[in-house]
Amino acid sequence: MSVTGITFFEPKTYRDFGKSGRFEAFRVVVEQSDLYVKAHRKLEKETYQLLCECRAQVEDAIARRKDFLTSLIPLDEDPRDGPVAALMVQAGKKAGTGPMAAVAGAVADFVGQGLMQWSPEVIVENGGDIFLKVDEPMVAGIFAGTSPFTNRIGLRIEPTLLGLGLCTSSASVGHSLSLGKADAATVISRDTPLADAVATALGNQVKKPSDLQRAVEWAVSVPGVDGALAIIRDRIAAQGNVELVDLSTQDKEMSK
């Protein structure tokens, strides 16, 4: 059984572009979108084309209604929206956020789903928001800023048939807007845009340690969410389908 490590929000130096077991790793950048991809072969051209197609749909929605870019509350659906923008609006409605709270997850999902026609396994990371389709178990390490949990715990991910979203919001790491104080708010869902939007809303709700349990219980109450985890300093809460892994023990097993 092999284990692949992916860390949310770790600085870009964690991106290893060497061959890792069955995966080839590569990076594709278009303006603000900076994707780190693992697949069974290098698919830079295909990834670039999918990324441009995805961004065009989002840019079209923004051009037609400026509040698509700026709103912090849900918007109504617009029949002129492309599929990506429509998924972002739907995710925002379920999470209670604006559509842009789902943009990184929506991009990762669109590109990852598209790449599956060339590679049976795909991992697409977009600023800490991840779409993955894997055939073997893996562990995703949690990076939570200066919290003592950083790089000490991970989430075990079982093989996925159709793909899975792992998305994280943080008030202490990265540039994304968060109205809370969570060092990490991570959501697991088969719907990656939804995982992204709910992670944002989850992070917004955690302003002090006593908020943790109530916030993760709210997150898993959203239809389509499988699990949620939130960290603030030295406190953690998890709910739903979340299997935590001690990374120090994992490292020892891998070194045998």
pLDDT tens per residue across span 170-195:
865 555 556 678 889 999 999 999 99
Domain containing 100 — which CATH number? 3.10.520.10
CA distances from 47 to 97, 134, 183 (A): 28, 18, 31
Q: Strand 5-7's sheet: what is its strand order? A: 5-7, 138-141, 153-157, 244-246
Rounded Cα gap, residues 188 and 142, in angstroms: 13
- Lowest-confidence pick of 62-76, 91-105, 150-164: 150-164
Closest CA to 98 of 25, 196, 15: 196
How many structural domains is the chain composed of? Answer: 1
98: which residues sit within 8 A by CB, 6+ positions away?
A: 67, 68, 70, 71, 72, 73, 74, 75, 92
Closest CA to 206 of 176, 169, 181: 181
Helix axes of 192-205 and 103-115: crossing angle, nearest 10 degrees:
160
Average pLDDT over residues 63-77: 95
Report yes or no on 106 lying in a domain: yes
Structural domain span for residue 197: 5-251
pLDDT digit string (tens) for 204-219? 999 999 999 999 999 9
**Per-residue b/e over 237-251, b at no fewer than 16 CB within 10 Å?**
bbbbebeebebeebe
Q: 92 pLDDT exceeds 50?
A: yes
Report yes or no on 11 lying in a domain: yes
Report yes or no on 256 lying in a domain: no
Report yes or no on 226 lying in a domain: yes
CA distances from 54 to 30, 47, 98, 177, 191 (A): 11, 10, 18, 22, 16
Report yes or no on 189 lying in a domain: yes
Return mean pLDDT, the chain: 87
Q: Which tops the pLDDT comparison, 142 or 115?
A: 115
- Lowest-confidence pick of 22-31, 74-83, 112-121, 170-179: 170-179
pLDDT at 25: 94
pLDDT at 148: 82
Closest CA to 133 of 144, 143, 124, 146: 124
Closest CA to 78 of 96, 97, 108, 57: 57
pLDDT at 221: 97
Closest CA to 238 of 151, 141, 176, 155: 155
